[in-house]
Amino acid sequence: MTDARLPSHIKRMQIEADGDSRRWFPETADNLPFMVLAMCGEAGELANIVKKVARGDMSLRDAKTRMAACMEVTDVFTYLLDIAELLNFDLEKAYYVKRAENQRRFGTGAGGGTAGQNGSVLPGTSSNAGGKA
């Protein structure tokens, strides 16, 4: 059982990624539009690999291609951590809030899974569910 008042593991990763950005790229670390565009750029790099796999030029059975795809997903995730920290919310807690909302909307399906946790997403608020997924 986790204490909902404590920062999640993902929130700690957000803080770490934000610190890295401030050390390595201080001129853009606070720039939300830059971070969002950079994340989209990384998603584009992933899309380019997937495009080449889809047309048969590359294969995810090839370890090098698979690793390249995994690293692009990681680049997207790193910028996502930065963005969540810039927006000052706990991405992991927000994920579970959104997941619960989606389960209400779309059902749990045959697999069910865990119910997740509801709680404060933004600091200083009691509950905050975001918009559409």
Residues that bind Mg ion (CB under 5 A): 42, 45, 72, 75
- Please tell me whether residue 3 adopts helix, strand or coil conformation: coil
Instruction: Compare residues 13 and 94 and give the one whose CB is closer to Mg ion.
Output: 13
Instruction: Compare residues 75 and 101 and give the one whose CB is closer to Mg ion.
Output: 75
Instruction: Compare residues 45 and 101 and give the one whose CB is closer to Mg ion.
Output: 45
What is the rounded distance in angstroms from the CA atom of residue 35 to the CA atom of residue 68? 21
CB 78 within 8 A of CB 84: no
HSE value, Cβ hemisphere, 13 Å, CA-based, for 94: 19
Query: Please, what is the minimum distance in Å from the beta carbon of residue 62 to Mg ion?
Result: 18
Q: Which residue is nearest to Mg ion (CB)?
A: 75
Angle in degrees, 0-180, between the axes of helices 9-24 and 63-86, rounded to the nearest 10:
90
Query: Please, what is the minimum distance in Å from the beta carbon of residue 63 to Mg ion?
Result: 18
Query: Please, what is the minimum distance in Å from the beta carbon of residue 92 to Mg ion?
Result: 23
Query: Please, what is the minimum distance in Å from the beta carbon of residue 40 to Mg ion?
Result: 12
Helices (H), 55-110: 63-86, 91-106
Instruction: Compare residues 20 and 75 and give the one whose CB is closer to Mg ion.
Output: 75
